[in-house]
Chains A and B, each alone.
Chain A
Amino acid sequence: MKNEMKRCLITFESPTMAQKAQRLLRERSIPAEVIALDGKYSKRGCKSGLSLSCAHTDRACEILINNKIRYSDVVV
């Protein structure tokens, strides 16, 4: 599967931060969807994630870091 088609996840402890990240990325033409994640992604229970094309992950992470938005992990 091409990288553009593959979906990656950026995970957050806070659903609000996931929402903030989504808006920030959308403003920069990176489409992403907020989804609720199950315990598979954290032993501490549910989390929130941003689902986006793996092709955008590196740039998305850079944007989030530059804007001081803390995320937990990137799941490829």
Chain B
Amino acid sequence: MCRAVRQSGGNPGRGSHSLARAASDILYSARERVAKHFGAESENVVFTQNATHALNIAIKALAKRGYKIVMSDMEHNSVCRPVYALAKQGVSYDFFTADSDAERVIESLMRVCDHSCIAVACSVASNICQLRLPIADIGRFCRERGMIFIADASQCAGSMDIDIERDGISILCAPGHKGLYGPAGSGVAVFSSGAASECAKFQTIIEGGSGTLSADRYMPEVMPERFEAGTVALPAIAGLCEGIKFVDSIGTDKIYAHECKLAKYVRERLCDTEKIRLYGEGEGSIVLFNVEDIPSQRFAQMLDERGICARAGLHCAPLAHAKLKTGVDGAVRLSFSPFNNVNECEETVRTIKELIR
């Protein structure tokens, strides 16, 4: 990141001078890194500010009166709100039941996907519980029906092996600052070769300079410039590239196994604790809980006073909280990373137990 700021302050893809060329090199290396990580072509990687930006690009590309978009009943607002906004323009929507079981998900999709349905948009993994959706099955379902599959990988990019061509994903959206260990202000929308070849049909949500075909009135019909209006956040993108290098050096499976091990450790030590209610089932890398008679935000504050950072509330996912029946105050979420260890988990459990004593 520092190198991007200090040594290449030019605007990538714009000029021919040495600083612009250096910036272009950094940008393209980051595209290659992201592409390799998700099994895509480098030109099909669109850099965004975050996952929400990427999801808006993907979802609103499809806006057309009479079309229908289907999402899961546990979606984050980054999926729901762009869809709700499109509904004001005549796009309809429906929900399928989020589940880890492929058969149940496909049955549910078959019930809600009619001839007007052009896309399924859903999180690959919940941001509040252990649930991971069977994306390869959803991808196959969409591919067989000629539908677009928009996958929100916010909670699993970096801890799940995702290959957009293999998994049938049309557009994968991910933030840089979570499991890919980039800085805030970075994100990606990664298009499959099929979706990219039809990019001219996709509407743009932001228009402006693209560094190419500047005499045209509209955004170029080439990837990735069609969706990258204006100057990209090069320092953040350079940081994201290094973050993915870090992830690749360890491996997504190993990272996920470590996170699950820590989550299991905490869950097992809290599950028989009086006054604590745990949510969600099965293995996973998140622990979601509530303490009897203490609102979640208050309890997160109490943890913070003891040096433990936990997010409470609805986590921008009111549908998911409603499904898990956490209540109006939501719940407290503990999440883990490769930088956490068992000792920290033990301390967290001890602190929680002390606070509710």
Interface residues of A (CB under 8 A from B): 13-17, 19-20, 23, 34-36, 39, 42-48
Q: Which 4 A-B pairs have the closest CB atoms?
A: A45-B215, A45-B214, A15-B13, A14-B222
Question: Taking chain A's interface residues, is the majority helix, strand, or loop, or is none over half, making it mixed?
Answer: mixed
Give the A-B contact count at a CB cut-off of 8 A: 68
Can you name 18 extra interface pairs (CB under 8 A) apart from A13-B212, A15-B24, A34-B21? Answer: A13-B213, A13-B220, A14-B43, A14-B224, A15-B225, A16-B13, A16-B28, A19-B25, A19-B27, A20-B43, A35-B16, A36-B15, A36-B16, A36-B211, A45-B213, A46-B211, A46-B212, A47-B213
Interface residues of B (CB under 8 A from A): 12-16, 20-21, 24-25, 27-28, 31-32, 42-43, 211-216, 220, 222-225
- Is there an interface contact between A17 and B213, defined as CB atoms closer than 8 Å? no
- Is there an interface contact between B223 and A14, defined as CB atoms closer than 8 Å? yes
> Could you give 19 example pairs across A and B, Cβ below 8 Å?
A14-B223, A15-B24, A15-B211, A15-B212, A19-B24, A19-B27, A20-B43, A34-B24, A35-B16, A36-B15, A36-B211, A39-B215, A42-B213, A43-B215, A45-B212, A45-B214, A47-B213, A48-B13, A48-B211
Chain B residues positioned under 8 Å from A34 (CB to CB): 16, 21, 24
- Is there an interface contact between A20 and B215, defined as CB atoms closer than 8 Å? no
* Minimum Cβ distance to chain B for residue A32 (Å): 12
* Minimum Cβ distance to chain A for residue B355 (Å): 52
| With A13-B222, A14-B223, A17-B222: A48-B42 Cβ-Cβ less than 8 Å | no
Chain A residues positioned under 8 Å from B211 (CB to CB): 15, 36, 46, 48
Q: Name the one of B13, B24, B42, B213 contacting A44, with C-beta atoms under 8 angstroms.
A: B213
Q: Name the one of A13, A19, A36, A39 contacting B28, with C-beta atoms under 8 angstroms.
A: A19
Q: Name the one of B14, B216, B220 contacting A14, with C-beta atoms under 8 angstroms.
A: B220
* Minimum Cβ distance to chain B for residue A13 (Å): 5
Chain B residues positioned under 8 Å from A19 (CB to CB): 13, 24-25, 27-28
| Most chain B C-beta atoms within 10 Å of own C-beta, residue among A15, A35, A47 | A15
